[in-house]
Structure 1
Amino acid sequence: MEIGDARVSEQVASVAASLEPRIVKLASDIRDLIQRDIPTLDSDPALSSLLGASVEENVVTVVHMLRHGIVTAHVEAPTAALEYARRLAQRDIPATALIRAYRVGQARFLRHCIDELLDQTPGEHVEGASTQWMVEHVSDTLDRVVEQVIAAYESARERWVHNRSTVLTMRVRSVLAGENVDLTAAQTALGYRLLQRHLGVVLWADSTADHDPLEHLDRVASALAVAAGSPQDPLFVPCDETSAWTWLAITPAAVFRRDEPQAVLAEHEPAVSIALGEPASGVDGFRRTHLQALHAQSVALAAGPHHAPVTYFIDVAPVAMMCADIESAREWVKETLGALAIDSERNARLRETARVFLQTGGSYTSTADQLFLHRNTAQYRVQKAEELRGRPLREGRLGVELALLACHWLGSAVLQHGSANIAGPYRSVMDRSRGTT
């Protein structure tokens, strides 16, 4: 049977139609495999999110091509795929990692196609020709897309290498990597003293929010330095087109109030997000406060588009460790909080009351004062939270506090959607504790 046979075209279209409703799931599977096989592409939360978008748009493109018999010469690389290539170039990640990602993704996608084909054609001969058709067309399509994204990568890399800030970025990355650098030469090149007290900050903006996000972020960084009473300009290092790393020089006498970053943001539009480490001294402190700021950023990114505009590492340190494996964190939160982990407005109020209750040492009065509630209301909410959990809040208290903290910062990313799978068992635990059956 020839590849151009009408039966083959119909069979391929049928496979694509079956895959179409599962595009999001397929893309997630392919993204996870790429990140497992290519660790270089799994080192940054922001890039991970863009990788997911790139994979999904590529899957949509290929499925659409298969279903409608589109000629590969007419295929255009998806916007997210081109943007992902540019970001990798700006992060100095080799093009070989990007090319390998496409090969890994292609193999995984074809496996899904062939599995679906075999399910649809038991005992028929059409599967051989259909498989051949899909392999040839998917390969042609991806070759065309790879050609375009590599062109975008090389173009962006060339611009980035010639950017005046590139030398600065390379110097900073050398210090962060712990390389044996000439301290005097590094400080001269950076225009910033490394043997002082630093506050690491990560700033990022919506890529569509401003025609020149980096210039806007630079202004915010300067405003933060003024608010912190810094004796010099901040060290500002572009990370990519929409994010930057910053170090503020902090004097021993400086008082940097927690509300200062929020006040700075209120005076700067469009929206910017800020993640801050803890002040630390010397070269080691330069690295440590920066790493803490990156961990704080990972919490904000994991929380989704509605994250807090300012995130302090000291507030989210335990939660930051959970961001490395959100799926496991979600399961652990469910096991720890039971039905209290269900995502609803009512449960959100109960969780917040429970969090403050444990934070204040189990004081209903202090809880009511902090949340501006009547004491009886605070007590009622704690009781309801315990009923949903199926156990007292003080049982496994440390775990409960961490789970509630994760819910507070990560929101729906670690919550359960729907109640059928967890509400029943925990309700029965409460029933048994009351002597009912």
Structure 2
Amino acid sequence: MLIDHQATGAEPTETRTKARAALVELLDAQADTLGASMAAELHVRIPELAEPEVRQALEPEMAACCVEHLRELRRLLAHELPVEQAVVPVAARRFVLALVHRRISVAVMLRKYRVGQRILWPTLAGHLRETCGDGPELNGELELLGTMLFDYVDIVCGELTEVYGRERERWVRSAAAVRTETVAEILAGAPLDPEVASARLGHQLRGRHVALVLRRRTPAAPVSVTGDLEAAARALVRAAGGPDPLVVPAGASTAHAWISVGEEPDALLTALEEHDPPSDLAVAIGNPGSGIEGFRSSHEEALRAAALAELRATGPAQPPVSSYRHVELLTILADDLPRARRFARRELADLAGDEPGVEALRETALAFLDHGGSHTAAAAALHLHKNTVYTRVRRAERLLGAPLEPGRLRLHLALHLAVALQRQVLEDAPAAGAEAA
């Protein structure tokens, strides 16, 4: 389609050749960006995929799936292949497995493709109108493009429906499915006998637990990534001196884990926090909790820490391990990001600017308040000379229009937000002219 001259033996028209080249050029340049935006929109439009925990677990795989589909469409167009030669991407198969493991129905998968087609169409059609003109010659090409997308989605959905069915049949018979189902019931608040649930999980629920969320930073990893994550979780906990954890996959690149801990878990928590995991692995840790309720609460806290780490990933390099006990205040402050933005910009005034050097002023101001207004302690924490801290504090005060004094809680909180999340809370910030010493 857009290339059906092959079937008829006719030469492609000039408009058709131009249209195909324009689409290939677009997909060459923007497949990654388009795929990521499609994934975000699909999570918004499909209710079953919009829940925060589901989105957090599946959006990397959704994005990889969308990008790979766009690249496959580009391959068909660039090589003038009939759509029947489409190859379903590995990322799409991996996403289907994740849907099965999260008990998301095949109907949701099919809706994802129908909605995705509707999201993609205006972008492709609009690009053709811009590059080829909106004359009558283009109407036939737009019709062929629509047919190509319809046929591609039909082929993909047919093959992936079979993949879904085979995996679901295998999954429901597995011990992993029993564990996953039991964990899902616990997290949903279903009334369960702790002893029965403990037997199903192979994990004692009456004790104390620390929950972990492990996530690969590279969603395009091999299909075996779930097993890799389980092994990574066990290696992480063993290295910290803990017992074997309960590990449950939550997506192709995400796993949830729980560790049984004693009455004094601080040493284990510290060891987990100080662990240096592989470079493509991010780890979030919840606070210890007791019994089934603690199983749930520690997990919720680990999810909050993981979500904050995702927000912080747009800033400078962040530690690969995020522990809720160290970021609890930030998770609360950032829970409503639009309001957090307004609060931070209002409190920081011109210190919220993005001119060169202002970021360093914010970091110094925060360290100064964190250390009770001591220039010497802030300098030691930042590895700066005391005079440098003194100069930066004075410049920060000029931008604030007020003195930096310990006890100014609102200002202190705003600085915590701005330093941790940076442009996430400072976008559209007022300009400021300042240079760090």
Bucket of the pairwise TM-score, normalised by the shorter protein: 0.7 to 0.9
Paired with 1:370 and 1:174, the residues of 2 have a C-alpha distance of 46
Residue of structure 1 in register with 2:283 after alignment = 274
Residue pair 1:275, 1:312 contacting (<8 A) in 2 also: yes
Residue in structure 1 matching 2:432, options 423, 426, 432: 426
* Structure 2 CA distance for aligned equivalents of residues 23 and 308 of structure 1: 30
Contact 1:198 1:286 in 2 (8 A): yes
Alignment of 1:71 onto 2:87: no
Q: Which residue of 1 aligns with 2:17?
A: 10
1:167 equivalenced with 2:185 (yes/no): no
Q: TM-score, normalization: structure 2?
A: 0.78
Letter in 1 for 2:42: I
Distance of 2:364 and 2:158 partners within structure 1: 55
Tell me the distance in 2 between the aligned counterparts of 1:136 and 1:173. 41
Amino acid aligned to 1:90: H
Structure 2 gap ranges (5+): 6-11
* Conservation of the 8 A alpha-carbon contact between 1:274 and 1:309: yes
TM-score by length of structure 1 reads 0.78
d(CA) in 2 for partners of 1:152, 1:244: 22
> Are residues 324 and 311 of structure 1, via their aligned partners in 2, closer, same or farther at CA, if it must alter by over 3 Å?
same
Q: Equivalent residue for 1:115?
A: 126
What residue in structure 2 maps to residue 283 of structure 1? 292
Task: Report the identity percentage.
Answer: 27
In the aligned structure 2, how far is the partner of 1:376 from the partner of 1:279? 42
Cα gap change, 1:221 to 1:238, in 2 (>3 Å): farther
What is the aligned length?
Answer: 414
> Contact 1:12 / 1:66 at 8 angstroms: preserved in 2?
no
Alignment partner of 1:198: what SS?
strand
Residue identity matched to 2:258:
W
Measured against aligned partners, the alpha-carbon deviations of 1:85-132 in whole angstroms (never above 9, x if no partner) come to 222222222222121111111012112233344445666322321221
| Residues 288-330 of structure 1, C-alpha deviations (whole Å, 9 max, x = no match) | 1110011111222333394312111132234436777878867
CA deviations 1:16-71 (Å, max 9, x no partner) are 25744454453344223211111322333241122122223323333454466432
Residue identity matched to 2:385: H
The AA in structure 1 aligned to 2:432 is: Y
After superposition, the CA RMSD in angstroms is: 3.8
The answer (yes or no) to whether the contact 1:3–1:132 under 8 Å persists in 2 is no
Answering whether residue 373 of structure 2 is matched by residue 365 of structure 1, we say: no
Deviations along 1:235-282, whole A, 9 cap, x unmatched? 33343455432223333344436531145x35x767643211112223
Deviation at 1:161, TM superposition (A): 3.3
The answer as to whether partners of 1:3 and 1:129 remain within 8 angstroms in 2 is no
Q: Which one is further off, 350-359 or 17-26?
A: 17-26
| Aligned residues of 1:197 and 1:250 also touching (Cα < 8 A) | yes
Find the counterpart in structure 1 of residue 302 from structure 2. 293
* Alpha-carbon separation, structure 2, partners of 1:22 and 1:205: 24
Selected match of 1:219 from 199, 216, 235: 235
The amino acid that maps onto 1:279 is P
- Opposite residue 290 of structure 2, the aligned amino acid is S
Cα deviation, 1:357-408, whole Å, max 9, x if unaligned, reads 2223433233223334332221222234455667766699655544543454
- In structure 2, the partner of 1:351 is 362
SS in 2 for 1:259: helix
After TM superposition, the structure 1 = structure 2 runs for residues 132-281 of structure 1, keeping only pairs within 5 Å, are 132-205=143-216, 207=221, 212-224=228-240, 226-227=241-242, 233-240=244-251, 242-256=253-267, 259-263=270-274, 265-266=275-276, 272-281=281-290
**Letter of the structure 2 residue corresponding to residue 310 of structure 1:** V
120-129 or 138-147: which moved more? Answer: 120-129
Change (3 A) 1:86 1:389: farther
Structure 1 distance, partners of 2:355, 2:252, is 34
Change (3 A) 1:286 1:81: same
1:163-199: CA deviation from partner (whole Å, max 9, x where unpaired): 3222122112111110122233112323333233322
